[in-house]
């Protein structure tokens, strides 16, 4: 399919020439006059100037992706080959649902081709279109959302960006295997919603837990197939350009750390940034924060290890036994990155074992004779 029919070019006066050859703008091939040959890229940027899923949007809002680009293109290029192309902005559909379907097609094509799309939104409900891009795969997927609250409001009388998780969880066919929510704030989240997610064996981490146990969050991001990052998860001081800004949340540095982890994940195949409102972003502070997050995502991408072979010399294998159980729990540690994986055996024997990301603390818990909570949750989903 010709992807160019879905996109509009970027303004040449803004993106036609890089500030200096060593900046990101000097290494990114943008859509200006002719559509770039995205098949020769590794990382693909695309803007989503679609805000009909939220409230109070203005004409200025639709320049959100371009404002982020302006700050990103000024940053200095990192290490690696940086084969990055910018496809421009996705043309919104006649109806909001049409935009979801356009985004689905684009994500599906890019993921199938082995590219890593980074989406610059746009309201948070566009996560639904990103998720639809995985419907064609013959496997289940893991979704991780980073947001200050769970967007599970009642569908009636609320905007789509407040209830899009409803649509994802109830989507038919159901191909969602795991769901994780990071950095929610308890005083913004209904306790009954949290209880419902816990019954479904989903993983939830409050912003305080993220701050205190950043190393425990890394395996969650390493297991995700797609990640949706709402800028409302970041505190107002570092990202004022958002509709629901408040003084509490992740710092800009913590947000970049999460993006660094995400980019390094060999399993992650798409990453979306949503909720940016440029009309509220004085001095482009939020655009700068988001641009830096994108930079860390790309830099992390070029630190990926490639195909994992747990039987190779690259990994150390650890076997942990339990006093009252003849079965053993297997762990794997990468010699170079020191990251850990855990083998989950299906107790029913109906499916092959899974090897999932875990933390060093999970291994220590098992070595102390206790079953790690991550093992329990995975076993419940199998």
Domain containing 368 equals: 315-381
Same domain, 42 and 125: yes
Query: How many distinct structural domains can be found in the chain?
Result: 2
| Nearest Cα residue to 129 out of 103, 151, 91 | 103
Query: Is residue 306 a part of any domain in this protein?
Result: no
Question: Does one domain contain both 276 and 136?
Answer: yes
Please spell the DSSP secondary structure of 77-142, one letter per residue: P-SS---EEEEEEEPPPSSHHHHHHHHHHHHHHHHHTT-EEEEEES-GGGHHHHHHTTTTSSS-EE
pLDDT in tens, the chain (382 residues): 789 999 999 999 999 887 788 999 999 999 999 999 999 999 999 999 999 999 888 888 899 999 999 999 999 998 888 999 999 999 999 999 999 999 999 999 999 999 999 999 999 999 999 999 999 988 899 999 999 999 988 776 789 999 899 999 999 999 999 999 999 999 999 889 999 898 999 999 999 999 999 999 999 999 999 999 999 999 999 999 999 899 999 999 999 999 999 999 999 999 999 999 999 998 999 999 999 999 999 999 999 988 889 999 999 999 998 766 667 899 999 999 999 999 998 877 778 889 999 999 999 999 998 989 999 999 888 7
Q: What are the tokens at 274?
A: 């949503």
Given 277, 301, 325, which residue is the final one in a domain? 301
Are both 330 and 224 inside the same structural domain?
no
> What is the CB neighbour count within 10 angstroms for residue 200?
12
Same domain? For 190 and 338 the reply is: no
Is the dihedral angle over the CA atoms 271, 274, 279, 280 positive or is it negative?
negative
Specify whether the CB–CB gap between 300 and 260 falls below 8 A: yes
In this structure, what token pair is assigned to residue 120?
């610059």
Domain at 158, CATH number: 3.40.800.10
* CA-wise closest residue to 108 among 146, 153, 148, 138: 138
235 and 341 together in one domain: no
Of all helices (H) and strands (E), which one includes residue 287?
A: helix 285-301
State how far the Cα of 28 lies from the Cα of 72, in Å rounded to an integer.
10
Look up the pTM and report it.
0.96
What number of other Cβ atoms are within 10 A of residue 188's Cβ?
16
């Amino acid at each position: 399919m010709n992807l160019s029919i879905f996109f509009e070019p970027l303004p040449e006066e803004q993106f036609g020439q890089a500030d200096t050859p060593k900046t990101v703008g000097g290494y990114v091939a943008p859509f200006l006059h002719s559509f770039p040959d995205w098949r020769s890229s590794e990382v693909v940027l695309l803007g989503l100037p679609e805000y009909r899923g939220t409230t109070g949007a203005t004409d200025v809002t639709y320049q959100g992706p371009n404002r982020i680009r302006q700050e990103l293109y000024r940053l200095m290029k990192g290490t690696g080959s940086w084969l990055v192309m910018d496809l421009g902005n996705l043309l919104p559909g006649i109806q909001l649902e049409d935009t979801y379907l356009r985004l689905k097609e684009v994500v599906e094509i890019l993921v199938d081709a082995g590219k890593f799309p980074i989406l610059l939104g746009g309201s948070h409900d566009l996560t639904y279109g990103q998720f639809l891009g995985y419907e064609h795969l013959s496997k289940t997927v893991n979704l991780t959302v980073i947001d200050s609250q769970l967007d599970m409001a009642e569908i009636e009388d609320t905007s789509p960006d407040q209830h899009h998780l409803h649509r994802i969880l109830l989507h038919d066919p159901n191909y969602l295997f795991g769901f994780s929510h990071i950095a929610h704030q308890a005083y913004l989240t209904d306790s009954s919603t949290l209880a419902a997610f816990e019954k479904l064996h989903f993983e939830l981490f409050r912003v305080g837990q993220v701050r205190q146990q950043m190393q425990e969050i890394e395996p969650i991001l390493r297991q995700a197939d797609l990640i949706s990052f709402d800028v409302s998860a970041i505190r107002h001081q570092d990202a004022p350009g958002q509709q629901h800004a408040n003084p509490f949340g992740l710092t800009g540095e913590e947000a970049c750390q999460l993006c660094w982890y995400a980019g390094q994940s060999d399993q992650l195949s798409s990453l979306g940034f949503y909720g940016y409102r440029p009309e509220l972003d004085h001095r482009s502070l939020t655009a700068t924060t988001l641009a830096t997050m994108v930079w860390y995502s790309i830099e992390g991408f070029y630190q990926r290890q490639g195909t994992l072979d747990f039987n190779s010399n690259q990994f150390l294998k650890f076997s942990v036994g339990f006093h009252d159980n003849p079965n053993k729990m297997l762990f794997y540690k990468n010699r170079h990155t020191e990251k850990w994986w855990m083998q989950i055996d299906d107790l029913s024997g109906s499916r092959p074992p899974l090897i999932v990301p875990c933390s060093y603390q999970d291994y220590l818990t098992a070595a102390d004779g206790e079953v790690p909570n991550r093992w329990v949750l995975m076993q419940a989903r199998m």
